[in-house]
Amino acid sequence: MLDDTQGRYDEAEPLYLEGLEKRRATQGNSHPDTLNRAESSLYLEKSLEMRRATLGNSHPDTLNSINNLAVLYDDIQQVGEV
């Protein structure tokens, strides 16, 4: 998701949450895809937080975490629009 890769997290988060909400509405809270993405986002967000704190915003591992989270958010958004 472009909002994430540009550091526009305040704009990306509502989109992520909207996608997750739509997934839950169409597939339910206990559907494996809903659970997997919700759980994955928590781990990726924590990983990004830790990498920023220890490595800084420009370190390649931090940038990789941002990319991974952006891809997940994009995936959630795309599926949420089904």
Domain residue limits, the chain: 2-80
Which H/E stretch holds residue 63?
helix 60-80
SS (H, E, C) the chain: CHHHHCCCHHHHHHHHHHHHHHHHHHHCCCCHHHHHHHHHHHHHHHHHHHHHHHHCCCCHHHHHHHHHHHHHHHHHHHHHCC
pLDDT tens per residue across span 45-79: 888 888 999 999 999 988 988 888 888 887 777 66
Residue 37 and residue 69 in contact, taking contact as beta carbons nearer than 8 Å? no
The pTM assigned to this predicted structure is 0.56
User: What is the residue-averaged pLDDT of the chain?
Assistant: 75
